[in-house]
Structure 1
Amino acid sequence: MDHPATRHSVSVAGVILDGQGRALLVQRRDNGHWEAPGGILERDEDITTGLVREVREETGLIVEPLALTGVYKNMTRAVVALVFRCQPIGGHLTTNHESRAFRWADPQDVKTLANEAFAVRVLDAMHPNRPPAVRHHDGTHLLTHP
């Protein structure tokens, strides 16, 4: 039988790149952090549907996932995040109750704006020829040994 202490949440995030190699960061309204748009999958939702829904809710953009770029586990909160490189195929950037602002960020901007655990997701997605990364973190910093 499944014990609540052994359960994990699964989240998805979309790293949207523009034609200049910059990634879209969203400033979250709840905590002010800069991150790739995304969120927790609903229990009855498939991964792609959840990704498209979460990105649209936070940005107003409709995206098409191109590639899985990384799997990340928050060891403190037991959240596994699946991150995808995406291309926009419709919609318009629109702030809302979840997002305060948007910024197209180059790799240095990403490192400056986002904490290490979230910046690495975006940086990994900015390299199209790498296999998906597998990383662990504590919510802020990467862990070398989970």
Structure 2
Amino acid sequence: MSASITFDDSHWPLLVTRFQGAATDAQYEEYLARGTAYLQRGEPYVSIIDMGQLAMPTNAQRQRQTEWLKAHQVLLRERLLGCALIDTSPLIRLVLSAIFHVIPLPTSYVAIRDMAEGVKWATARLAEAGLGDAAERIRRDFSAQARRRSGPSRT
């Protein structure tokens, strides 16, 4: 399986990041650089990180994640309204738990099972932050996507 890390900001202020496979160190560095760029936009946002197909990060990548969290704590606290982590792997949950034990994520976060649950949680964070219009638009967008995937209704 080829590795990829994709970013979808088409529903901003919702950022969806998807991991697939085992990222190279270069891909992981790009992920951290893109994360920094989103923080530096100066706008509040929520994030859903889909790790459902993530292979175990290397020791070097886990160390870089810890360093990045330390270096960006202030921006994370100011800009990131919350982070929903889609995770189906007990091993990945253990790694995240270890990272967040060393450097706690300075914003609210939740481990969830799927995108629908993530959208529900993320839009609630947006609404709580006074971004109700954006939350409602995102709910409509994802609801429409789900209807398209399920096909036409039968009557």
Common fold, TM-score beyond 0.5? Answer: no
Larger Rg: 2
TM-score, normalization by structure 2: 0.29
- Which of the two has greater helix per residue? 2
TM-score, normalization by structure 1: 0.30
Structure with more relative contact order (C-alpha pairs < 8 Å, separation 6 or more): 1
- Which of the two has greater strand per residue? 1
